Amino acid sequence: MAKILIIEDEMKIARFLELELRHEGYDVLICTDGRKGLETALNEDVDLIILDIMLPGLNGIEVCRRIRQESQVPIIMLTAKDDVSDKVAGLDTGADDYMTKPFAIEELLARIRVALNRKRNQKEPKNDILQIGDLKINMASRSVFYKDDELTLTKKEYELLEYMVRNKNIVLSREQLLNQVWDYEYFGDTNVVDVYIRYLRQKIDEKYGIHLISTVRGVGYIIKD
């Protein structure tokens, strides 16, 4: 669940936003002055910040500038009126987006979703480690570890495992695995999938006494978190 920090001194607006955001399923923190807001932004693990510009203590532009020295958390600025210079200053200091008060809540919610998605997408390519329990896959070096023990996998075993861990918690059919991991080499012959699942089970489940790969009868296989 994403955690959103609201930095806004007008309690009516802050409370209204809090209610709407909680209703959407977000965790919400509220700060009513700039200094406290900055401190919270830097010390709490928040996923997005809604930042008013006119604030006591430290104005929103300054808060934004200081947050950006340390963090790339998405920031949506609120401007009291349709003031172009505020908008420009806000975007110059690194805000991702802005909204003019009064705003339609649906539009703000849509912009929050966009900003959170963008953040998620930026994160993925940088993260080349997949982890599930004590099993760690380094996609850059194509190596697999169970705790500190490095596994010896063939190319296809590795590709099958990586694909399944990437799609963990989803039941994958034999056809799907065949198409994704083997391309067309074994077109239609799903037995090869069962054979490689067996190899992986010998090298992981049986070797370490864990239950990584589950069979879903009549459907396929799944790796659960």
Which residues of the chain form contacts with Ca ion (CB under 5 A)? 9, 52, 54
CB of 144 to Ca ion, least distance (A): 52
Nearer to Ca ion, 18 or 52 (CB): 52
* Rounded-to-integer distance, Cα 16 and Cα 66, Å: 27
Find the shortest distance in angstroms from Cβ 130 to Ca ion.
44
Q: How far is the CB of 3 from Ca ion (least distance, A)?
A: 22
> How far apart are the C-alpha atoms of 211 and 201, rounded to whole Å?
9
DSSP string, 173-206: EHHHHHHHHHTTTTTT-THHHHHHHHHHIIIIII
CB nearer to Ca ion: pick between 54 and 181: 54
Which residue, 159, 150, 208, is CA-closest to 185? 159
**Cα(108)–Cα(111) distance, rounded to whole angstroms?**
5
Q: What secondary structure letter does DSSP report for 73?
A: -
The Cα 22–Cα 28 span in angstroms is 7
- Cβ closer to Ca ion: 102 or 209? 102
Strands (E), 71-212: 75-79, 97-100, 129-132, 135-138, 143-146, 149-150, 172-173
Nearer to Ca ion, 4 or 51 (CB): 51
Query: Between residues 32 and 176, which has the closer beta carbon with respect to Ca ion?
Result: 32
Nearest distance, CB of residue 133 and Ca ion, angstroms: 47
Q: Least CB distance from residue 52 to Ca ion, whole Å?
A: 4
- Coil, strand or helix at 144: strand
Closest residue by beta carbon to Ca ion? 54
Report the distance separating Cα 18 and Cα 29, nearest Å.
Answer: 8
SS3 at position 79: strand
9/97 with CB nearer Ca ion: 9
The phi and psi torsions of 20 (rounded to 5 degrees) equal -65, -45
Smallest separation, CB 20 to Ca ion (Å): 18
